[in-house]
Structure 1
Amino acid sequence: MNRFFSAVATALILSAPVYAQDVSGMNDLEFAHIAYTADVIDIRYAHLALALSDNPDIHEFANTMIRDHTAVNEAALGLLNKLGATAQDNAFSQTLNANAEEIINTLSQLRGAEFDAAYAANELAYHQAVNDLVEGSMIPNIDNAEVKALFEQGLEIFKAHEVHAEKMVESLN
């Protein structure tokens, strides 16, 4: 179940947008929207975990996701405000949201250990996919130094989340 769910989550996260639009060719404001959207999605996953899981480790992880992703989004909004800019919606962000709905619907049907394992697998796959996208396609193509620095700081935090999620997956198997 975990490997299957992980593969499905990764496919849903990255499927259509990669073909619909070359992310590396986007501008900083489109990158900002993708990152903000990805953070909001992970916050939604975390709230679902708090509602459906009784596992204290899952709750600790979910609370960390809410805290850290909210802080990064607040910093991003502050920087956009300082720059007098607005993040630009795009096909990639829209696909992330559509795919997240499918994942949330799937996770919502699970309970107990099955939910915990699927949530952990999804978190690992999600952080791997988004971190790879940020590190490999976004950061190298960001023009504004302040925006790039914010993405680099966020990536450091989210790589720690990836390690934590990997340990969670291992402990639930």
Structure 2
Amino acid sequence: MNTLSLAMIVAVTATAASAHADDVMNDLEIAHAAYTADAIDIRYGHLALAISENDAVRSFAETMIRDHNAVNAAAGELLAELNVSPQDNALSRSLLEGAASKRAELMSLTGREFDCAYALNELGYHQVVNATVADSFIPVVTVAPLRTLLTDALVTFRVHEAHAGRMVTALECAS
């Protein structure tokens, strides 16, 4: 069930990201979607700290909270410097809807079942978000500092993706 629901969430998120990204979002919509994706992963991290007793999972969650908060803080500083506000959009709303559903599912789990579901979700989430940032956001961003922020963040988030993959393997989760 966890693998199936992960596959469905990833497929829905990928489809939504692709559909909305193909509409060529403006820089302020991209900033909002990126910020939203980070905020979602921060919430997943807090949930993992509240539920998991596995040291490796908890350490990963702490890394997610720290790194995604740092990127969002940098984004906030950039928006303040440019004196602009991010624009809500369909992709951001779609991400939030998917995350609410995934959080509800994760909250119903405990122990190894939670740890595997969290690890698999983190792997899938980072795969989709990283591909969207690399293939749909960075190529169309017109403000150089935002492109730099996204490019730098992508380096960190690719490390997260690899770390999540190792965690899935270490936990021996069915993928």
- Give the TM-score normalised by the residue count of structure 1: 0.95
Q: How does 1:29-40 map to 2 (within 5 A)?
A: 29-40=28-39
Structure 2 distance, partners of 1:141, 1:12, is 23
Partner of residue 70, structure 1? 69
**Which letter maps to 1:47?**
H
* SS of corresponding position for 2:170: helix
Does structure 2 retain, via aligned residues, the 8 Å contact 1:10–1:126? Answer: yes
Q: Paired residue for 2:89?
A: 90
| CA distance, structure 2, for counterparts of residue 160 and residue 3 of structure 1 | 23
Segment of structure 1 superposing worse, 23-32 or 149-158? 23-32
Letter in 2 for 1:143: T
Unaligned runs of 5+ in 1: none
109-118 or 1-10, larger mean C-alpha shift: 1-10
Q: 1:13 maps to which residue?
A: 13
C-alpha deviation, 1:2, in angstroms: 5.2
Structure 2 CA distance, aligned partners of 1:138 and 1:17?
10
Structure 2: which 5+ residue stretches go unaligned?
none
Tell me the residue number matched to 2:150.
151
Aligned partner of residue 86 in structure 2, secondary structure: coil
- Asked whether the equivalents of residues 10 and 124 of structure 2 are also in contact (C-alpha less than 8 Å), the reply is yes
Q: Percent of aligned pairs with the same residue?
A: 49
Instruction: Determine the structure 2 residue equivalent to 1:124.
Output: 123
Cα distance in 2 between the residues matched to 1:63 and 1:5: 24
Aligned residues: 172
- SS of the residue corresponding to residue 113 of structure 1 reads helix
- Distance (Å, rounded) in 2 between the aligned partners of 1:169 and 1:146: 34
Q: Equivalents in 2 of 1:55, 1:135: separation in Å?
A: 32
- Residue 136 (str. 1) matches residue 135 (str. 2): yes
CA RMSD of aligned residues (A): 1.3
2: CA distance between counterparts of 1:22 and 1:113? Answer: 35
